[in-house]
Amino acid sequence: MGQIIRDLRLLAGLTQEQFAATLGVTYTTINRWENGHSKPSPLAMEKIEAQLLQIGD
């Protein structure tokens, strides 16, 4: 999951801080997700999926 989140963020051309702001979470949270220390909540997953859809447009 962490690699997918990192790939999505890089595809969007965002830093961890910028991506965190778009999802309404902290930079630390993004870092933990990307490094496999925690997983996104169901609500965060919905927001991540929305980001994927925006990139796909």
The domain locations on the chain are 2-56
What's the pTM value of the predicted model, to 2 decimals?
0.86
Residues contacting residue 5 through CB under 8 Å, at least 6 positions apart:
30, 33, 34, 40, 48
Fill in the DSSP letter of residue 25: S
19-28 mean pLDDT:
94
Q: What mean pLDDT, rounded, does the chain reach? A: 92
Report CA-CA distances (Å) from 16 to 5, 30, 55: 10, 6, 17
pLDDT score at 54? 82
Please check whether residue 52 is in contact with residue 5, taking contact to mean a CB–CB distance below 8 angstroms. no
Cα 3 to the center of its chain, rounded Å: 10
pLDDT score at 57? 65
pLDDT score at 53? 86
The yes/no answer on whether domain 2-56 falls in CATH 1.10.260.40 is yes
Whether 51 has a pLDDT exceeding 90, the answer reads no
